[in-house]
Amino acid sequence: MAEHNDFGAWGEEVAAQYLQQQGYKLLAQNYRSFEAEVDIIAQDNDTLVIVEVKTRNNNYFGDPAEHVSDKKQALLAEAAWAYAESIDWEGPIRFDILSIIGTPAVSAHIQHLEDAFFPHDDADDTLDGTAF
């Protein structure tokens, strides 16, 4: 595995541990659907939470959370819808970003952005025709 993949996996593990410490129930990691991979799918009370993890060793190029493109948001939304449908989810869905800045050798700084984005079809404010 390439070094950058190891680094990303480390960040995702840090994120998963953080979410569990905050009381989230982890449902899936590295869930693949369509062209997207969802880093973490969790449950926070009655809400399905789709989590994008952005890991950097520094913030030289800005906050990692700023690097979730509109295209990535749309792909995450498609994957979220597929996952929700596969488990017959009827509750709310939230999209979060977890920014991890650090390295395995140095402690990580974690920033959790709840409701970081809400991807939707601008034509009717729904996702794939179904309102969340």
Whether 132 is covered by a domain: the verdict is no
| CATH code of 7's domain | 3.40.1350.10
Structural domain count of the chain: 1
In the block, which residue shows the tokens 């982890």? 26
Whether 123 is covered by a domain: the verdict is no
Mind listing the pLDDT tens digit of every residue in the chain (132 residues)?
A: 555 567 778 899 999 999 999 999 999 999 998 788 999 999 999 999 999 999 887 665 666 667 788 898 999 999 999 999 999 999 999 999 999 988 777 778 899 999 998 876 543 344 444 444
- Alpha helices by DSSP H, 22-108: 70-86
Q: Are 131 and 125 in contact (CB under 8 A)?
A: yes
Q: Supply the range of the domain harboring residue 94.
A: 3-104
* Residues near 91 by beta carbon (within 8 Å), at least 6 away in sequence: 46, 47, 48
Whether 9 is covered by a domain: the verdict is yes
Q: Are 106 and 11 in contact (CB under 8 A)?
A: no
* Residues near 106 by beta carbon (within 8 Å), at least 6 away in sequence: none
Whether 14 is covered by a domain: the verdict is yes
Whether 116 is covered by a domain: the verdict is no
Whether 88 is covered by a domain: the verdict is yes
Whether 21 is covered by a domain: the verdict is yes
